[in-house]
């Protein structure tokens, strides 16, 4: 395939950051993620990943693996369920998690959907909705009689806190008993992005206004919405001495509280 320039800016460009980390992990012989489709997309895009994001590291593959396992558990209970993937970008989860019956709805901005469709075509069971996740229009695309799993990887931190709150409140009201999985960054990291976080020599990340420490997540979720259960998980690095050090640090409550994490919610 001829190489394709992604021509993305702003938050949509960040899909190349997560793709960089996932695809490089998937290419390692000891990688934790099997993702040939992601590697194919990565190799086809004409983009200076290292110039923008620096050397690849495994965090986004760890996150993807965690989200894949959560989704597999949901599909085991609800093979005919609906998966809503908010801000899906160039995620290739649907190729990693096999299923025959679920309906997948990918919601992302028009520029993001356009580049996704260069590689991944929608079909009857995998629909693409070119709109903001904040536009409640996507709610109507979710069939009323099926179990719902909403996932937002690398998205909510780019929204204003009040927009996150209103969206979660509305999703809980519209999709009772649905599951929602999302990841989050701590307050200090959000503040760093507001000052301009230079990630690589050519790239400053967009602002991430929603930062939250882990101990504040469950209380704020309960303030925003009717929540039956909420559980937060740390990233777990599996490899080498960095893994040992990192996982050891995650046992220290003060540090874990101020680290990025992932939360799974079941609405009441
Ligand atoms: C960091 S990327 C994450 C992409 C993908 N979820 C992943 O983990 O690789 C952020 C994604 O959010 C999308 N995005 C930004 N603002 C959005 C909005 N208002 N509604 C839906 N998607 C949005 C971007 O286009 C991009 O695909």
Taken in order of first residue, the domains within the chain and their CATH numbers are 70-267 (3.40.50.150)
Integer Cα distance of 126 and 260 in angstroms: 30
- Give pLDDT, residue 239: 86
Each of the 268 residues of the chain gets a pLDDT tens digit; together they read 789 999 999 999 999 999 999 999 999 999 999 999 999 999 999 999 999 999 999 999 999 999 999 999 999 999 999 999 999 999 999 999 989 999 999 999 999 999 999 999 999 999 999 999 999 999 999 999 999 999 999 999 999 999 999 999 999 999 999 999 999 999 999 999 999 999 999 999 999 999 999 999 999 999 999 999 999 999 998 788 888 888 899 999 999 999 999 999 999 9
Q: Is 204 helix (H, G, I), strand (E, B) or coil?
A: strand
Atom of ligand 1 lying closest to residue 112 CA: 25
- Give pLDDT, residue 246: 86
Pocket of ligand 1 contains residue 12 by CB under 6 Å: yes
Q: How many CB atoms lie within 10 A of CB 202?
A: 11
Q: Is 203 helix (H, G, I), strand (E, B) or coil?
A: strand
- Give pLDDT, residue 24: 98
CA 229 to ligand 1 center in whole angstroms: 25
- Give pLDDT, residue 2: 84
**The pTM is what?**
0.97
Pocket of ligand 1 contains residue 85 by CB under 6 Å: no
- List the one residue out of 108, 115, 106 whose CA is nearest residue 141: 106
CA 248 to ligand 1 center in whole angstroms: 31
Tokens for 43, please give them. Answer: 């190799």
Pocket of ligand 1 contains residue 81 by CB under 6 Å: no
Distance of CA 112 to the CA centre of its chain: 14
CA 175 to ligand 1 center in whole angstroms: 22
Atom of ligand 1 lying closest to residue 107 CA: 21
Pocket of ligand 1 contains residue 91 by CB under 6 Å: yes
- Give pLDDT, residue 241: 84
Burial of 239 (0-12, 13-18, 19+ CB in 10 A): middle
Burial of 3 (0-12, 13-18, 19+ CB in 10 A): exposed
């Amino acid at each position: 395939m001829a190489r394709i320039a992604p021509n993305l800016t702003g938050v949509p460009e960040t899909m190349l950051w997560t793709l960089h980390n996932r695809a490089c992990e998937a290419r390692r012989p000891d990688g934790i993620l099997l993702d040939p489709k992601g590697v194919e997309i990565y190799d086809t895009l004409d983009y200076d990943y290292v110039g923008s994001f620096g050397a690849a590291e495994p965090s986004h593959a760890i996150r993807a693996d965690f989200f894949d396992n959560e989704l597999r558990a949901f599909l085991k209970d609800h093979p005919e369920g609906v998966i809503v993937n908010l801000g899906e970008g160039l995620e290739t989860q649907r190729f990693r998690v096999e299923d025959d019956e679920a309906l997948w709805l990918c919601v992302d901005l028009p520029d993001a959907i356009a580049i996704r469709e260069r590689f991944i075509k929608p079909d009857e069971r995998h629909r693409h909705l070119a709109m903001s996740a904040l536009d409640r229009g996507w709610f109507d695309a979710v069939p009323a009689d099926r179990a719902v799993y909403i996932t937002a990887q690398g998205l909510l931190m780019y929204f204003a806190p009040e927009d996150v709150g209103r969206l979660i409140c509305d999703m809980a009201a519209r999709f009772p008993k649905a599951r929602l999985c999302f990841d989050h960054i701590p307050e200090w990291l959000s503040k760093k992005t507001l000052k301009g976080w230079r990630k690589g020599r050519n790239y400053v990340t967009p602002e991430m206004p929603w930062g939250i420490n882990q101990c504040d997540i469950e209380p704020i979720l309960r303030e925003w919405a009717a929540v039956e259960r909420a559980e937060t998980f740390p990233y777990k690095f599996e490899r080498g001495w960095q893994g040992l050090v990192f996982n050891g640090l995650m046992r220290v409550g003060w540090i874990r509280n101020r680290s990025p994490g992932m939360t799974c919610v079941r609405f009441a």
